A and B are shown apart, each in its own frame.
Chain A
């Protein structure tokens, strides 16, 4: 655990209060939040919400060349009960929006949403009667990734940003949606 940069950050000035091997031996003092967030950020289990061509790049990111498992995210779960990060990869139609929201609600807390690509972020080039203009209209989005579709490197960059965000979270499970704190309500 000594190698984790986050834990190093949470220890204060080394000489006075922090980790001092002569005094404390193998003991590290930190906040519980930091430990929990550190664990969470390195075991994100994505729910691959593949809806269009972005899903191909998502698969590329899962392959050996780009290897999302370097970040502890290789366990793509197609069951929402076993996933905690929904990667919305592709065009969300109004017909599919209902399903996206239902799957989001079925995921266990804590959970995060990544809007991958132009379509999921804003509706992209689909300015039409059938397309939801951004998945943030129905679920709270943590990370937006630009691109049409984004290359796997962009996805990995976004996921590293998500890790950074997870590390900075408080212990609360409250989420914000459109700027206000909301209780999580389950839709079945």
Chain B
């Protein structure tokens, strides 16, 4: 598919530089029509992936990336949609397989998918107050109440930040060390909060 096919039909669409497959920046208003056009007229009939991105410093902060595959032409296309006001249209009406992907993107990033038939969390429990894959969320987690109040009462437990100091994932460093670099950063942990 030539890039002009898409950019002529949807003037707000821009070509993004990418090394592996044609990539487009799509406006949220055009997303449903773009995906429908790609599915019905261009043969991109399989939604391979849908995921969220936290760009941290950009506006809009969050984005959604959709990979579409044409099973007839054997080619991929990638669409990026900025989540204006943290919301993008849901494509699960066009590709039912997007349903759980969108729930996961909502769970992990807090991106709302307008028109989603079942906008619940999918990995964390329903009452969980945070979105853990956001850049400002610490890997160790933040203390919150246990998912079930009666179990919390019996066990006296809460959801605690995981210990991040020491352990098998902190390598000593040096020439031969291939350890997890983020584990070497001990500037903040469960004893010293992140600045």
A contact set with B: CB distance below 8 Å: 94-95, 97-98, 101-102, 123, 125-131, 133, 137-138, 185, 187
Q: Does B154 contact A (CB under 8 A)?
A: yes
Interface 1/0s, chain B 127-169, versus A by CB < 8 A?
0001010000111111000111011001101011111100111
Whether A127 contacts B147 by the Cβ 8 Å rule is no
Chain B: minimal CB distance from A167 (Å): 29
* Residues A102 and B151 in contact in the complex (CB < 8 Å), given A94-B146, A125-B168, A127-B169: yes
Contacts between chains A and B (CB distance < 8 A), count: 65
Residues on B with beta carbons closer than 8 Å to the beta carbon of A129: 130, 132, 137-142, 159, 161-162
Whether A138 contacts B155 by the Cβ 8 Å rule is yes
Residues on B with beta carbons closer than 8 Å to the beta carbon of A128: 139-141, 162
B contact set with A: CB distance below 8 Å: 123-125, 130, 132, 137-142, 146-148, 150-151, 154-155, 157, 159-164, 167-169
* Residues A133 and B163 in contact in the complex (CB < 8 Å), given A98-B146, A128-B140: yes
Whether B147 contacts A97 by the Cβ 8 Å rule is yes
* Residues A127 and B162 in contact in the complex (CB < 8 Å), given A97-B147, A98-B147: yes
Whether A130 contacts B124 by the Cβ 8 Å rule is yes
Q: How far is the CA of A137 from the CA of B138 in the complex (A)?
A: 22
**B139 CB contact (under 8 Å) in A123, A127, A138:** A127
Residues on B with beta carbons closer than 8 Å to the beta carbon of A126: 162
Chain A facing B: main interface SS:
loop
Chain B: minimal CB distance from A16 (Å): 50
Chain A: minimal CB distance from B177 (Å): 17
Beyond the given A95-B123, A129-B139, please list 9 additional residue pairs across the A-B interface where CB-CB is below 8 A: A97-B146, A97-B151, A97-B157, A101-B154, A102-B148, A123-B162, A129-B140, A129-B141, A138-B151
Nearest A residue to B137 via CB reads: A129
**A95 CB contact (under 8 Å) in B124, B132, B150, B162:** B124
Residues on B with beta carbons closer than 8 Å to the beta carbon of A187: 150-151, 154
Residues on B with beta carbons closer than 8 Å to the beta carbon of A131: 162
Chain A: minimal CB distance from B186 (Å): 13
Whether B141 contacts A185 by the Cβ 8 Å rule is no
Residues on A with beta carbons closer than 8 Å to the beta carbon of B167: 127
21 contacts between A and B (CB under 8 A): A94-B147, A95-B147, A97-B147, A98-B148, A101-B151, A101-B154, A101-B155, A102-B151, A123-B162, A125-B168, A126-B162, A127-B162, A127-B163, A127-B169, A129-B138, A129-B161, A130-B132, A130-B141, A133-B163, A137-B157, A187-B154
